[in-house]
Amino acid sequence: MPVNLAYFLFFYAFFYMGNAVYGTFIPLYFQHVGFTQSQIGTLLGLGPLIAILAQPIWGLFSDRAKTKNSILLLLLACTGLSVLLYPLTNQFALLLAFICVFTFFQSSIFALSDAVTLEALDKRGRGNFSLIRLGGTVGFAIMSILFGIIADKRIDLLFGVYAAIIAICFLLALRFPTIEGHQAGSKKMSVRVLFKNRKLMLYIGANFVFQVTLGYYYAFFPLYFKEMGGDSAWLGWSMVISSLSEVPFLLLSSRIFQRIRTWHILLGAGAAAALRWYLFSAIHDPFWLLPSQALHGLIFIVLTVTLANVINKEVPSELKASGQTLNGLLTLGVARIIGSLVGGVASEAYGMRSVFLYNSVLAVVCIIVFAIVFTVQQNKEAALLKRGVKAGS
């Protein structure tokens, strides 16, 4: 089957529409049914805990399956069905169980769809992943506006809308070209190979710390915005601003990757995060939070696309899905747990405003530490290259 990039473009558009519905408004739904900030932090933090278990499982299955497509379709189907369990109860314990089931399937879709898309582009011989990912940005922006208006009156429609969107994604994924699991035959490769790649681990490590601060943002920004006096419609517009701010990077990413070192790009995203969280802690009017959302385009999408490309280049074909899911395990799993659970407790103890300031400090410390580590690593590589040149001359 020829590679038609339109199916990938629309897949990302609709999948991130679903992300706008669920990721943005689920904290408000939990608040709507009467849960406290620490309970909301627990609900949003337990899901990523399950993701820690799910990511390596689905990554391994994908690499060893006859096709990665079959695993992606399975995850989409189970995600769409499991989200319909949420409105069946308002009991805390049952919702914890439902979130576990939902996250077990949903959390790996991001990484696996990236792996399938990047391999399809390699098979095609041309195509820009960033432009395809732009479909997700546009979809997220559109749905943030539409569901922001709906959520003011009927936030309970969240689950039906999300399930319908996932159903569309399933139909689009049926049209993807076949991407085989490279370990389906006799050739096997241990996941330990990933951990031996020092450069890859450094990139993932820096990304992880910045994602911890993003984990707190995703869990508590909607509540923070409402606490400051903003409503759901304005919250939707704030997400539109954050989403559309990704467009410049997505359009220019191929040039940026050619001209700027990868670790400079990552630490630049960290600097934008530090500034953004500081502004969140300093601003008292919800209206002024809106322009500060434009910094999102220098953080999340930069980290996401950069790591996806690094993994696709650094990781052997036999472990491409496992490499993407390892990164997803840390960013959608461990980082979100720390951001949600620790952030929820800290918010009740010190207030959300103070926690955003602490996140700013954490980002600055991370930038300093990893700037030193990356510089040392770069100098070592330069020295080894110089020795190799001398030995060959």
Q: Which residues contact 381 (CB under 8 A, 6 or more apart)?
A: none
Nearest 5°: phi and psi at 6? Answer: -60, -35
Q: For residue 376, give the amino acid letter.
A: V
Which range, 5-14, 43-52, 172-181, is most confident?
A: 5-14
What pairs with residue 67 in β-bridges? Answer: 180
| C-alpha 374 chain-centroid distance | 23
Percent of the chain's residues with pLDDT above 90 = 34
CA dihedral (150, 156, 162, 167) positive or negative:
negative
How far apart CA 87 and CA 257 sit, in angstroms, is 44
Residue 34 predicted with pLDDT over 90: no
pLDDT classification of 90: cutoffs 50, 70, 90: confident
Higher pLDDT, 168 or 199: 168
How far apart CA 245 and CA 121 sit, in angstroms, is 25
| Model pLDDT for residues 35-44, shown as the tens digit of each residue | 887 788 788 7
pLDDT of residue 393: 46
| Model pLDDT for residues 297-311, shown as the tens digit of each residue | 899 889 988 998 888
Higher pLDDT, 224 or 63: 224
Mean model confidence pLDDT for the chain: 86
Q: For residue 242, give the amino acid letter.
A: S
How far apart CA 209 and CA 212 sit, in angstroms, is 5
Residue 134 predicted with pLDDT over 60: yes
Query: Please, are residues 244 and 303 in contact by the beta-carbon 8 Å criterion?
Result: no
Query: Please, are residues 329 and 195 in contact by the beta-carbon 8 Å criterion?
Result: no
pLDDT of residue 47: 72
Average pLDDT of the segment spanning 361-371: 95
How far apart CA 21 and CA 168 sit, in angstroms, is 15
**Helical residues (DSSP H) of the chain, grouped into ranges:** 5-32, 37-64, 68-82, 92-106, 109-124, 129-154, 158-173, 192-195, 198-227, 232-244, 247-259, 262-282, 286-292, 300-314, 320-328, 335-337, 343-350, 352-392
| Model pLDDT for residues 291-343, shown as the tens digit of each residue | 999 999 899 889 988 998 888 888 887 777 778 778 877 876 788 778 887 88
How far apart CA 384 and CA 23 sit, in angstroms, is 45
In this predicted structure, which of 17-21, 57-61, 85-89, 293-297 has the lowest mean pLDDT?
57-61
Average pLDDT of the segment spanning 22-51: 82
| Model pLDDT for residues 152-193, shown as the tens digit of each residue | 788 889 999 999 999 999 999 999 988 886 665 555 667 777
Which range, 93-97, 237-241, 377-381, is most confident?
A: 93-97
Q: Which of 25, 9, 14 is nearest to 236 (CA)?
A: 25
Residue 226: other Cβ atoms inside 10 A: 17
Percent of the chain's residues with pLDDT above 70 = 93
Nearest 5°: phi and psi at 105? Answer: -95, -45
Half-sphere exposure for 230 (CA within 13 Å, toward CB): 26
pLDDT of residue 101: 92
Three-state DSSP class for residue 67: strand
Residue 79 predicted with pLDDT over 80: yes
What pairs with residue 180 in β-bridges? Answer: 67
Q: For residue 323, give the amino acid letter.
A: G
Average pLDDT of the segment spanning 125-138: 83
pLDDT classification of 391: cutoffs 50, 70, 90: low
How far apart CA 337 and CA 66 sit, in angstroms, is 33
How far apart CA 83 and CA 161 sit, in angstroms, is 10
